[in-house]
Amino acid sequence: MSATVAVESENPLTAGLERLPVAPTTLVIFGATGDLARRKLLPALYNLAQDGALPERFHLVGVARRERQHQDYRAECEQAIRSFSRRKPDEDVLAQLLEHVRYAAGTFDDDTMYGQVGVLLDEFDERAGERLNRAYYLSTAPEFFATIIGRLGDSGLAHPPEAQVRVIIEKPFGSSLAEAEELNRRVLEVFDENRVFRIDHYLGKETVQNLMAFRFANGMFEPLWNRNYIDSVQITAAEDVGIGTRAGYYDRAGALRDLIQNHMLQLLCHVAMEPPVGFTAEEVRNEKVKVLQAIATPTPDAITHMAVRAQYARGHSGGEDVPGYTEEEGVPRDSHTETYAAVRLEVDNWRWAGVPFYVRTGKRLARKVTEIAVTLKPVPHLAFSQDGSLGVRPNQLVLTVQPNEGVSLQFGAKIPGTRMVIRPVNMEFLYGAAFLSQSPEAYERLLTDAMRGDPTLFTRNDEVEAQWRICDPIVAAWAASADPPPDYEAGSQGPAEAGSLLRPGDQWRAV
């Protein structure tokens, strides 16, 4: 079955947000020649320009270590946009965007570089005849975040007169609770919290935002959205690739810190949060923090029963033989870093008490998929048991975040014929088919919201620290263990040990 879409009156939850203006802005990207800037940020800016979503006066300053002329950096921007934009570039739009691009060179602890940036910002302001808003995007290695923030404060770039300044900080925000708390302290010494935008690109994905629409704009779901009707929730972020060229970062981070601590706990919050009083940044984030506060801090004794790690071994994936994790280039041969992590969490409040939330992520699994599967309790009496039935399975609502964004509802239906034979069927809604358009990239929405000053889809300081409070004890316990993680074959469903987290009768969905 497929869904059709009728356009009706605007949703009161989001009314007005899209009409907030994006004021004239200069965006400064620190780490402007890095992979994130090339593959995501620059193409996102171009797509916004083509949609007419950038402010009328928009300027870009790229900051990186190597010396370049302005025209050289413009050429690099053009190449990145042509290579990674989701659209074929319009030559006039591209030329107009690149006309307002400049470059400053220097290390992130170099006062001279911040002086160069200040000169470029002043030149843009003079040309516009007004003080433009400023947004500083920290697209660098995390060890430079505090340095850049401090130098922005010392140089006076953080608080120019008659302009609003925002700072956008990429993940990971610290590698432990202590680091996150210290980084928050140093950031908030320079910027007020309402000027800080800690980015989690999952929150910019259409399916994640649509989860709130499905829950709070449709009366059919809310009566069922509790422990009386929901049996379990399974959140999966599976990848079919290995670590690629990310060995230096990944071996320090591991699967738990790379995805579960940020992206996947955010998905859990969207599933479990209470309806906000209003669709404002503070109300939405208040409800998410309440969810995180309702998850108990794991104790050393509990960790062995609620968390599993593993590491991929050599196997067959994508039609070819692939090496194991410790055989990858740049990975120490004795590395104990997990490439698979699964945890069982419980949200201890009235709505969710007793409902397990199974959260897992892994590399070199059978396929790439990110999804949320909400399993309802089975029917109390199984009347359909004739031969030929595939069984009356519990209903499942599955929200697919990637690669094929959409929602499916699984329920039992009778197979045509003379006998009462039941099989599961799916009713599906796919974004591409329903709206006949390609979903915008997450960074397009997030960059616009940051320049607009709307922090709804960004994480707050107490939210980040609450996420680390849950994950930090698990990270510490695994780091202290002398035992290597169990392995699983590349291209498989993951380690058999993950089954130990499940209640009797539960099973992991196939990836």
Residues 6+ apart with CB under 8 A from 103: 32, 61, 62, 63, 64, 68, 69, 70, 72, 73
Per residue in 462-481, is it b (16+ CB within 10 Å) or e — as a string?
Answer: bbbbbbbbbbbbbbebbeee
Cα gap 33→305, rounded to integer Å: 44
Cα gap 36→337, rounded to integer Å: 24
Question: Which of these is catalytic: 70, 263, 336, 381?
Answer: 263
How long, in residues, is the chain?
511
Angle at CA of residue 443, ends 243 and 466, nearest 5°: 75
Other beta carbons within 10 angstroms of residue 134's beta carbon come to 25
Q: Answer yes or no: 381 catalytic.
A: no
Angle at CA of residue 447, ends 444 and 450, nearest 5°: 145
Cα gap 131→141, rounded to integer Å: 30
The answer to whether the beta carbons of residues 345 and 309 sit under 8 Å apart is: no
Exposed/middle/buried for residue 355 (C-beta within 10 Å: 0-12, 13-18, 19+)? buried
Rg (CA), the chain: 24
**Which residue stretches of 363-486 are H helix?**
431-435, 442-452, 461-480
Instruction: For 113, list phi and psi in degrees, rounded to 5.
Output: -65, -40
Cα gap 16→18, rounded to integer Å: 6
The answer to whether the beta carbons of residues 305 and 342 sit under 8 Å apart is: no
The answer to whether the beta carbons of residues 134 and 160 sit under 8 Å apart is: yes
**Residues taking part in catalysis:** 263
